[in-house]
Every structure is written in structure tokens, then in C-alpha cells.
Amino acid sequence: MQPTISVITPSFNQLDWLPLAIASVADQEQVKCEHIVQDGGTRGIEESLRSQFNELTEKQRLTIFVEKDAGMYDAINRGLAKSKGDICACLNCDEQYLPGALKSVAEFFDAHPQVDVLFGDVILVDARGCPISYRRSILPNSRHIHLAHLNTSSCATFFRKSVVERGFLFDTGWKAAGDAIWVDSLLRAKLQMAVLPRALSVFTFTGDNLGASAISRAESRRLRQKSAEESGPRSTAAVVLQHRLRKLLAGAYWSRRVRIEIYTLGSPDQRQRFSRRVGFGWPRANPRAAGAT
């Protein structure tokens, strides 16, 4: 029996991007899913999303909860507590699922009952929807998380509801690095993880993303500094080198042509096609101008 997927979207003052994320869940075919938008009190959200809400509520796909929270991770935890699915996922407002993504995830979990957590690949796009990078996922490593960074993306992370029921929620003491702390806790508990080597979602690099903020950089430095002091520079270099070798063997450092269909600000009701050869890194240039040439 195919599992049901619960998608949690934390939301606050992102009414431009939120409808695109909702649409990318709503049109997933041949899969049972529910979409919970956990909003922190955006003014006018009900009116803004009324047409989508009415249509998708009839399909039993979308539920919106508006209540004050203590930040993104508190919103996610609140949504997870309300979820009814067998598989859970988190999708931010500036992220989308690619066509067929949730069906592939449901089939994988159905075929691999021993797997608790699944990671997939992610394509970075600019604010117009143009692809700018392909991010291959590999199984995370606890030491690398602490000494360098988390190499998986939350928008392509899926986990069984039993993980939540065992108490693995997000630490609300963090504003941006909670993903890394959460994955590290799963690794330390020796949960079974796997990778589905295909693009499941897109992350829109808007320039205003929390993960690219000063808060995120400060939290990442705090995490790395403490671990580096305990491990020493040689250990840090060895861990990073080993991680890069694993990524090389997984094909993470290839350029490749990507073809995607996503919703855009200019086309919120119909997916648009994009095709472009991209690299593998995070963009350094102004994301609003990326892909202009």
C-alpha cells in the first residue's frame, strides 16, 4: 500500500513565493499527500490564497494554519504535530517539487521499509526560474556537518512519521542551522538513511533566503569553530578531503544539462520549461542577475 506524504511549509510574509510552492505540491500525480502551510501570522494570507485554498481543500490536499510561532523551526514542528501522513517533508515557500517527485519518494519508501530518511538532489534556480546549479546529495557525515557544512538540502529530505514520533524534532534554539543539528541527531541515533540520485526539487536563490543570511553564516561559523577547536586543523582537512572524494565518486562535480518544469512569478498557474547546462556550486554572483547572459 502506497504511503501518504505530509508536506509542511513554514510561512511568514512570503505571499509572492508561497503560491508557487503550493502549486508544486498540488499537481503531484499518482500519490497520496497532504500539504500543511504553517503560517506565523502573515497579514492577508487567507484572502491572498483563497482561490487556491478553496480548490485544493476540495481535493483534501491543502490546510492552512495561522498562528504565532517562535520561528521557522517552531513552525515546522507545529506542522509535523498536525500531520497525518506516513512520510513527512519540509518545503519552504521559495522551494518547489519537480513533477513526479513525490510519487518517486512514495515508491522508494514502499520498496525500502528499512529506510527512515531519504535524500534527493536539488536544482538551484534564480528568481526568474532559470537553472544555475545542480546539487548532488550524498549520505551525510556527522563530523563533516560539524567541521564544514550539511551537504543535503531540506527541500529534498523525506522521513518517516516514526522519526517524529521518536522525538526527533527541530531545535528551535537555532534560526537557520537547525537542519544540520537535526540531521546530526539522526546520524547519532543510527537511523537508516538512503539517497535517491535524481532531482526532486528546486531551491529559488532569491537573495533573501534565510540560508544565505548573516544569521545563517553566524550560526554555521559557531558550529564549525567549536568542532574545529576540539578536532584540530589536520582532522578538519582530512574530513573535508574525504567528503569531497565521496562527492567526486558520486558525480557531484560534473556540469550537466538540466531540463525542468516549474512555476514562476510570471507563470504561477502553469509550469514553465527551462533547459540549461549548469555547474555544481552555490552562486557567488547576484542571484537576481544569474542566468541573464
- Cα three-residue angle 268-274-279, rounded to 5 degrees: 125
- pLDDT tens-digit map of 57-75: 656 689 999 999 999 999 9
Supply the pLDDT for residue 232. 63
Supply the pLDDT for residue 175. 84
| Domains with residue ranges and CATH for the chain | 4-278 (3.90.550.10)
Strands 157-160 and 87-90: antiparallel
Supply the pLDDT for residue 14. 94
Which stretches of the chain drop beneath a pLDDT of 50? 287-293
Q: How far is residue 155 from each of residues 27, 195, 202, measured CA to CA in Å?
A: 17, 14, 8
Which residues are within 8 A (CB) of 277 and not within 5 positions of it... i.e. 6 or more apart? 255, 256, 257, 258
Q: How many residues does the chain have?
A: 293
3-state SS record for the chain: CCCEEEEEEEECCCCCCHHHHHHHHHCCCCCEEEEEEEECCCCCHHHHCHHHHHHHHHCCCEEEEECCCCCHHHHHHHHHHHCCCCEEEECCCCEEECCCHHHHHHHHHHHCCCCCEEEEEEEEECCCCCEEEEECCCCCCHHHHHHCCCCCCHHHEEEEHHHHHCCCCCCCCCCCCHHHHHHHHHHHCCCCEEEEEEEEEEEECCCCCHHHCHHHHHHHHHHHHHHHHHHCHHHHHHHHHHHHHHHHHCCCCCCEEEEEEEEECCEEEEEEEEEEEEECCCCCCCCCCCCCC
Supply the pLDDT for residue 165. 98
Supply the pLDDT for residue 59. 60
